[in-house]
Chains A and B, each alone.
Chain A
Amino acid sequence: MRAQIAVYVVLAAAALIAPFLGLYPVFLMKLLCFAMFACAFNLLLGFTKMLSFGHAAYFGSSAYITGWLVTVHGWGTIEGIFGGVAVAMLLGLVIGGIAVRRQGIYFAMITLALAQLVFFVCLQADFTGGENGLQGIPRGSLFGLGLSNDRTMYYFVLAVFVAVYVLIRRVVHSPFGQVLKAIRANEPRAISLGYKVDRYKLMAFVISASLSGLAGSLKALVLGFVTLSDVSQGNSGEVILMTLLGGSGTFLGPVIGANVVVTLQEYLSDLVGAWVSVIIGAIFVVCVLIFRRGFVGEIQRRFAQRAA
């Protein structure tokens, strides 16, 4: 417990002073957005053991909606974010409602296929800008503070990230979260205890989709553009890798995984071009074969062994 608090204190301090260390603030914000996305995804994979293979649908659609509302309709920043998240929530409700009827591998395939549907809609709809995507999305302002300043925006994104992180911890430790864990451990038993399992799973799905949407909206505002890759299958795969690599079912794992994967992509894409996807694929293979606990999962296991 003491070690855990120490880790959080160090991380919080690092996050607070990071923009002053010469690190590029936009890159830091991108890291935070993807960390948020991975944490939201982990609520499903890690704590409920539902592998959604289409989470880019919520991330991307929310990004598109926020970008569209802010750019075309002149909505304020907060309203735009809420608009995007509302759409992601609705999508999560519809897709989740269909997908939770099946388990395990079927669930994965159904979420993947329905996310592909969302992808094609984004490709063909008018408001998304098709192949070009949305560009020049303004960040607007918050309580009179202009967010076009990178540092101001950074602290705004950081604040939202911390809120989401705390919320997810809260959800997992709540009675609702305990039921999710029971479903993860033994679904038939949870059913026989009288829990409406599908309803709990759907609820978890909707929360996860909404928070993924929030991450997407922020990313759209941070970078000022949304493209098809935000809503694509590749993005869905990457968030799985982030969660798995960092440690699914741990709180900090997805944050670390997201940082590693985004940093790798950022630096390698200039260096090696298309080989990035080979490297990502290779990490996937290694992770699945010999590193299923992920970084944080492995560390926790070592600690547990030493304590025993």
Chain B
Amino acid sequence: MTTVFGVPLPAILGQLMLGLVNGSFYALLSLGLAVIFGLLGVVNFAHGAFYMLGAFAAYLGLSSLGINYWWALLLAPLAVGLFGIVIERLFLRHLYQVEPVYGLLLTFGIALIAEGVMRSIFGASGKSYPVPPLLQGGFNLGFMVLPIYRAWVILASVTVCFATWFLIERTHLGARLRAATENAKLVQAFGINVPLLVMCTYGAGVALAALAGVLAAPVVQVSPLMGSSLVIVVFAVVVIGGMGSIVGAIVSGLVLGLIEGLTKVVYPEASNIVVFVIMAVVLIWRPAGLFGKEQ
């Protein structure tokens, strides 16, 4: 059997595959964070909580309403996105005039509330969500077995990331969004409803997090605290990619997932911290992040 660093090749490929799946979640989550930060200037600490709520929405939809996976992919982000919009209208919009750290603190509080409520109702233990029938099983590639669901996660998240990038960088709506990011007052003066744009952007970013949650539900345990440490990794990913950079968020999400997977093979003890170590190195070498611009 072929080995690399004394590890059999199929094991390495398997871990790389898992890494790429994790990277897909990182990419989706950091993309949402970057979009929200770009327009609102708010670092959304509740992103991990919205990811968790997305997964729970899918789980509860299936177990109590019989909503299947495919509908959950559509409905859960919609519901959680609407919830995000409510939060933006009720709380977040009052903080646009003050320093951005208050937005971080507010969303931290919201994350505590969301996680606490879910933990009180559902307990801390994880719940499993079945892989949808259509995506069960795997392809035998000869050198390894590729689970169909994992392949689907990667495909779906890359597609969504690309679509979001296209929407922001290549369409009329995206142009307005970018203009409002540059100078909200001026864009408002041109007759574009900036508050509406801001509200919808927050909703969309939150919906992306919830979508990641639904995609993750069959491969991780659905639990109230599933997002709380993930969000910190995603912060590190965003810092590495460069805050507010869409491409940076997507690329560094996927790449860091891969690196994490590789670390699990080479030196498993470090797999939890490798992203943070890379962040420290990147900050020393390029304080603005890999894709960020020095302000």
Contact = CB atoms under 8 A, between A and B. Distances in A.
Interface in B87-133: 91, 94-95, 98-102, 104-106, 108-117, 119-120, 124
B232 A285 contact: no
B120 A289 contact: no
B14 interface: no
Interface of A: 51, 53, 98, 101-102, 104-106, 108-110, 112-114, 116-117, 120-121, 123-124, 233, 237, 240, 244, 273-285, 287-289, 292
A38 B180 CA distance: 39
Contact of B228 (A109, A233, A285, A289): A233
Residue among A109, A117, A237, A288 facing the most chain B CB atoms (10 A cut-off): A288
Nearest 7 CB-CB pairs, A to B? A284-B109, A281-B112, A277-B116, A278-B116, A281-B113, A117-B276, A113-B236
A101 B116 contact: no
A233 B112 CA distance: 11
Contact of A101 (B91, B98, B287): B287
Given A109-B239, A278-B117, 9 more contacts: A105-B100, A108-B101, A113-B276, A116-B229, A277-B112, A284-B108, A285-B110, A288-B102, A292-B98
Interface in B186-203: none
Nearest to A53: B104
B273 A120 contact: yes
B91 A289 contact: yes
A120 B109 CA distance: 23
Interface stretch (B3-11, B77-85, B277-285): B277-285
Contacts of A278: 112-113, 116-117, 120
A258 B283 CA distance: 33
B39 interface: no
Contacts of A113: 232-233, 235-236, 239, 276, 279
Contact of A106 (B98, B113, B243, B277): B243
A273 B280 CA distance: 37
A191 B160 CA distance: 44
Contacts, number: 124
B238 interface: yes
Contact of A275 (B100, B116, B228, B238): B116
A114 B108 contact: no
Given A105-B43, A110-B279, A237 B108 contact: yes
B119 A277 contact: yes
A282 B94 contact: no
25 contacts: A51-B101, A53-B104, A98-B284, A105-B43, A109-B43, A113-B235, A113-B276, A116-B232, A117-B280, A123-B272, A233-B228, A237-B112, A274-B119, A274-B124, A277-B113, A279-B116, A281-B109, A281-B113, A282-B109, A282-B113, A284-B105, A284-B108, A285-B110, A287-B109, A289-B106
Contacts of A106: 239, 243
Interface of B: 43, 91, 94-95, 98-102, 104-106, 108-117, 119-120, 124, 228-229, 232-233, 235-236, 238-239, 243, 269, 272-273, 276-277, 279-280, 283-284, 287
A110 B240 CA distance: 10
Contacts of B98: 292
A35 B284 CA distance: 34
A167 B42 CA distance: 35
Residue among B116, B277, B279 facing the most chain A CB atoms (10 A cut-off): B116
Nearest to A99: B283
A105 B283 CA distance: 14
A245 B232 CA distance: 24
A25 B178 CA distance: 58
Contacts of B95: 288-289
A238 B124 CA distance: 21
Contacts of A121: 273
A116 B279 CA distance: 12
Contacts of A244: 105
Contact of A281 (B102, B110, B229, B239): B110
